[in-house]
């Protein structure tokens, strides 16, 4: 990777939070370095062998690598025909409510950073990556938010296409996966941890402990993050709706209660957030 490309990546991540580098046929030199970004790379052809911390991993055609920041990465070898697409994300976005799915799956990907894709899955994932690449080139008013939402969908696609692998994970991971699924269904009717613990057939204390262990965040924080992320999307794309209407859609019978809740979680009121967009 050239110095010019490195500068381009840095500028792109700083501007939009997400940066896509297509048709990469080179990689960092063979000295170990600590990753400072969340990285997904999709191998189109050839192979590359990488030392991740103490693990030696070989990525071949249609394999995907998922690397979280803070790990030692070293190039061991690569074939002359190696070609890949890199999707890089600023670490600050790991705490973004829209990207909660990444933290939900973090322990799984850190233990299993390599994903083997079928031709169908590879094609679907690349279509999304290309959409993100095109989004970078367009001067949108809310480009950072758009790319964040696209990143979230890319991760959901990746998770969907590796269901067979996910069946092998531990009971705690399955609890976390079920929680995020239940949360997407019931966030606007149930905001209490006890409800989701009961769905998982666990006590609230045990449930909270499992979620904290697997995601690094408390169950209550993830519930709040889901509600706020949905609120932000509605405030952004449904400008035809009043604050009261949005509050009702999110399960708040009183607009003032919703406004105080939104302010507590974000530091601004819904009307202020909408005016900032």
CATH number at residue 209: 1.10.10.60
What is the tally of helices (H) and strands (E) in the chain?
Answer: 13, 9
One domain for residues 218 and 154: no
Q: Which of 129, 147, 166 is the last residue of a domain?
A: 166
Distances (CA, A) of 217 to 101, 145, 175: 12, 22, 14
3-state secondary structure of 5: helix
Instruction: For residue range 215-230, list pLDDT tens digits in order.
Output: 777 899 889 988 987 8
pLDDT score, position 176: 82
Q: Which of 166, 190, 206 is the last residue of a domain?
A: 166
pLDDT band, residue 8 (cuts 50/70/90): low
28 or 24, which is more confident: 24
Contact criterion met (CB below 8 Å) for 39 and 87? yes
pLDDT band, residue 6 (cuts 50/70/90): low
Domain of 189, in residue numbers: 171-276
Q: Which of 149, 166, 183 is the last residue of a domain?
A: 166
Exposure on the CB side of residue 51, measured as CA atoms within 13 A = 14
- In percent, the amount of the chain with pLDDT more than 90 equals 40
One domain for residues 147 and 191: no
Strands, DSSP E only, in 68-209?
Answer: 72-78, 83-89, 114-116
One domain for residues 133 and 17: yes
CA–CA gap between residue 233 and residue 145 (Å, rounded): 9
One domain for residues 69 and 195: no
Taking residues 87-109, report their average pLDDT: 78
One domain for residues 206 and 158: no
Instruction: For residue range 232-274, list pLDDT tens digits in order.
Output: 888 887 888 999 999 999 999 999 999 999 999 889 999 998 8
Task: Give the number of domains in the chain.
Answer: 2
Instruction: For residue range 111-164, list pLDDT tens digits in order.
Output: 788 999 989 999 999 999 999 999 988 877 788 888 888 998 999 889 888 755
One domain for residues 11 and 97: yes
CA–CA gap between residue 38 and residue 231 (Å, rounded): 26
Asked whether residue 170 carries a pLDDT value surpassing 60, the answer given is no
Closest CA to 35 of 72, 10, 66, 1: 72
pLDDT score, position 21: 86
């Amino acid at each position: 990777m050239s110095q010019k490309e490195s500068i381009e990546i840095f500028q792109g991540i700083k501007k939009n939070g997400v940066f896509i580098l297509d048709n990469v046929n080179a990689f960092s030199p063979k000295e170990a370095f600590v990753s400072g970004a969340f990285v997904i790379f999709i191998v189109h052809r050839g192979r590359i062998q990488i030392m991740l911390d103490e693990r030696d991993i070989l990525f071949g055609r249609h394999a995907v690598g998922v690397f979280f920041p803070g790990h030692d990465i070293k190039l061991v070898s690569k074939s002359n025909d190696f070609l890949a697409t890199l999707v890089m994300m600023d670490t600050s976005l790991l705490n973004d409510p829209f990207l909660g799915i990444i933290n939900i799956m973090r322990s799984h990907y850190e233990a299993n950073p390599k994903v083997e894709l079928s031709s169908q899955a590879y094609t679907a994932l690349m279509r999304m990556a290309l959409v993100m690449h095109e989004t970078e080139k367009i001067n949108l008013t809310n480009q950072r938010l758009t790319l964040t939402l696209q990143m979230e969908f890319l991760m959901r696609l990746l998770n969907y296409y590796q269901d067979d692998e996910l069946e092998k994970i531990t009971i705690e991971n399955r609890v976390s996966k079920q929680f995020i699924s239940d949360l997407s269904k019931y966030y606007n009717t149930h905001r209490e941890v006890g409800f989701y613990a009961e769905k998982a057939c666990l006590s609230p204390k045990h449930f909270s402990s499992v979620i904290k262990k697997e995601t690094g965040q408390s169950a209550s924080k993830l519930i709040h993050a889901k509600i706020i992320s949905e609120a932000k999307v509605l405030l952004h794309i449904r400008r035809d709706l009043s604050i009261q209407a949005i509050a009702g859609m999110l399960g708040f019978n009183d607009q003032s209660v919703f406004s105080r809740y939104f302010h507590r979680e974000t530091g601004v009121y819904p009307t202020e957030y909408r005016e900032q967009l």
